[in-house]
Amino acid sequence: MFLDERRDYARLMSGNITGPLHGRIAVVTGGARGLGYAMARSLADAGADVALLDLLDGVRDAAEALAADTGRRCVGITVDVTAEASIADAFGSVARDLGIADVLVNSAGITSGTPLIDTQLASWQRVLDVNLTGTFLAGREFARRHVAAARGNPASIVNVSSMSAFAVNIPQTQAAYNTSKAAVSMLTKSAAIEWLPLGIRVNAIAPGYFASDMTRDFVASNPEMAEDWVRRIPAGRMGEPDELGGLLVYLASEASSYVVGQSIVIDGGYTTV
């Protein structure tokens, strides 16, 4: 029952069975699985057609499953968000298959678990390349296409930061990841101010511990650490991926028309105490 209530939130907000994102076209990087897929589903439930962009070959199957489940037009496109040409090709495919995107969710991300003193340069750079540079490249391509289309419609970018942008969540060691997410939140503010006059609002969501494909394997092989996390979360549990949907649809839609440059933490109270 609660799950249905969360999935129906978009419709409840609008009082409109077509959903607040009806007629919009959304791109979700890192959309083949995990939080990206769950957020793509929330956007589709709210009426958007969705392009999933991901490094994984399974992205096409994921898009087919999403389309079958939600009745929206969905496409899956292989991309490496760290490569300019790959991003340009992927957005070209989106434009051909669905149209010019009005919503971008930057969810592609990787983590690192090495003590800082042992961290190799290549590993440090890879985390920053995917999490930060990938967010920049996809945002810039989205913005250029929005400006070139000159349709005058509102556009929204939602970056996926992390509570790790604001708190060093111990006991794991992940300095590169924490640093990359703090930078994503600053990029969010900077892009928000530069692109607001272009009709693009930029915000971020900053999740705490969520049960995703990324964390599930980690939790299975580190059960004591996972218990430690849960002990520190006032809500007493990790978040479920669909619990991001209400905030995401709010930020993607014009319901949040005066929210600019924010990174909104959604963490069951972890960073509140």
151 — alpha (psi -120 to 50), left (phi > 0) or beta? alpha
Of 95, 77, 65, the C-alpha closest to 30 is 77
Amino acid at 40: A
The smaller minimum CB distance to ligand NAD, of residues 14 and 74, is found at: 74
The smaller minimum CB distance to ligand NAD, of residues 20 and 30, is found at: 30
Beta bridge pairs of residue 239: 210
Dihedral of the alpha carbons of 213, 219, 225, 226, in degrees to the nearest 10: 80
Query: Where are the strands (E) in 7-66, listed by range?
Result: 25-29, 49-54
Q: Return residues touching ligand NAD (CB under 6 A).
A: 29-30, 32-36, 54-56, 79-82, 107-110, 130, 134, 160, 162, 207, 209-210, 212-215
The smaller minimum CB distance to ligand NAD, of residues 19 and 245, is found at: 245
The smaller minimum CB distance to ligand NAD, of residues 65 and 110, is found at: 110
- Cα radius of gyration (the chain): 18
Of 145, 146, 163, 158, the C-alpha closest to 210 is 163
The half-sphere exposure of 175 on its side-chain side, counting CA atoms within 13 A, is: 11
The smaller minimum CB distance to ligand NAD, of residues 195 and 210, is found at: 210
Catalytic-role residue among 177, 209, 250, 270: 177
* Residue whose structure tokens are 């060691």: 173
Enumerate residues 6+ apart whose C-beta is below 8 A from 151: 100
Dihedral of the alpha carbons of 178, 183, 189, 192, in degrees to the nearest 10: -120
User: 10 Å Cβ neighbour count for 47?
Assistant: 23
Query: Catalytic: 177?
Result: yes
Least distance CB 79 / ligand NAD (angstroms): 5
The smaller minimum CB distance to ligand NAD, of residues 215 and 253, is found at: 215
Catalytic site residues?
A: 177
